[in-house]
Amino acid sequence: MISTETLRPDAAGISRAAGYLAQGRLVAFPTETVYGLGADARNSLAVAGIFEAKGRPRFNPLIVHVGSADLARRYVTWSDQAEAMARAFWPGPMTLVLPLRADAGLSDLVTAGLPSLAIRVPAHPLAQALLTAFDGPVAAPSANPSGRISPTTAAHVLAGLGGRIAAVLDGGPCTVGLESTILSLTGTPTLLRYGGLAIEAITALLGTPPVQETSPHSITAPGQMVSHYAPDAPVQLNMDTAPEGAVMLGFGAVEGDLNLSPTGSLTEAAANLFPHLHRLDALNAAMIAVAPIPETGLGRAINDRLRRAAAPRP
Ligand code: TXA
Ligand code: MG
CB of residue 118 inside a 6 A radius of ligand 1: yes
Count of structural domains within the chain: 2
Is the residue at 224 inside a domain?
no
CB of residue 131 inside a 6 A radius of ligand 1: no
pLDDT at position 225, please? Answer: 59
Query: For residue 273, how far is the Cα from the chain centroid?
Result: 13
Q: Which ligand is nearest to the CA of 152?
A: 1
* Res 223 pLDDT > 60: no
- What's the whole-model pTM score? 0.93
Query: For the chain, what percent of residues have pLDDT higher than 90?
Result: 88
Is the residue at 13 inside a domain?
yes
Based on the domain organization, do 114 and 250 belong to the same domain?
no
φ, ψ of residue 261 to 5 degrees: the values are -165, 105
Peptide bond into 91 cis (omega under 30): yes
pLDDT tens digits, one per residue of 105-164: 999 999 988 999 999 999 999 999 999 999 999 999 999 999 899 999 999 999 999 999
Q: Alpha-carbon distance 29 to 110, whole Å?
A: 18
pLDDT at position 207, please? Answer: 94
CB 170 within 8 Å of CB 12: no
**Residue minimizing CA distance to atom 8 of ligand 1:** 141
pLDDT at position 89, please? Answer: 98
Domain span including residue 142: 5-212
Is the residue at 223 inside a domain?
no
Q: What kind and span of H or E run contains 132?
A: helix 125-134
Give the pLDDT mean for 222-236: 77
Distance 142 CA to ligand 1 centre (A): 8
Give the pLDDT mean for 81-86: 98
CB of residue 95 inside a 6 A radius of ligand 1: yes
Is the residue at 274 inside a domain?
yes
* Res 258 pLDDT > 60: yes
Based on the domain organization, do 60 and 203 belong to the same domain?
yes
Q: Which amino acid is it at 1? A: M
Based on the domain organization, do 182 and 75 belong to the same domain?
yes
pLDDT tens digits, one per residue of 299-310: 999 999 999 999
* Res 216 pLDDT > 70: no
Distance 221 CA to ligand 1 centre (A): 6
CB 164 within 8 Å of CB 259: no
Q: What is the mean pLDDT of the chain?
A: 94
Q: What CATH number did the domain enclosing 198 receive?
A: 3.90.870.10
**Nearest Cα residue to 170 out of 38, 7, 26:** 7
Q: What kind and span of H or E run contains 22?
A: helix 11-22
* Res 215 pLDDT > 70: no
Based on the domain organization, do 162 and 247 belong to the same domain?
no
**Residue minimizing CA distance to atom 31 of ligand 1:** 220
pLDDT at position 217, please? Answer: 44
Based on the domain organization, do 145 and 277 belong to the same domain?
no
Q: Alpha-carbon distance 97 to 27, whole Å?
A: 24
pLDDT band for 219, please (50, 70, 90 cuts).
very low
φ, ψ of residue 224 to 5 degrees: the values are -100, -5
List, edge to edge, every strand of the sheet that includes 138-139: 5-7, 167-169, 27-30, 35-40, 138-139, 63-65, 116-120, 94-99, 181-184, 190-193, 211-212
Q: Alpha-carbon distance 35 to 124, whole Å?
A: 10
Distance 249 CA to ligand 1 centre (A): 27
pLDDT band for 221, please (50, 70, 90 cuts).
low
Is the residue at 230 inside a domain?
no
Q: Alpha-carbon distance 132 to 45, whole Å?
A: 22
Based on the domain organization, do 32 and 176 belong to the same domain?
yes
Ligand 1 atom with the smallest distance to the CA of 196 is 1
CB of residue 182 inside a 6 A radius of ligand 1: yes
pLDDT band for 59, please (50, 70, 90 cuts).
low
Based on the domain organization, do 68 and 194 belong to the same domain?
yes
* Res 276 pLDDT > 60: yes
Is the residue at 194 inside a domain?
yes
**Strand ranges for the chain from DSSP E:** 5-7, 27-30, 35-40, 63-65, 94-99, 116-120, 138-139, 167-169, 181-184, 190-193, 211-212, 235-236, 246-250, 258-259, 287-290
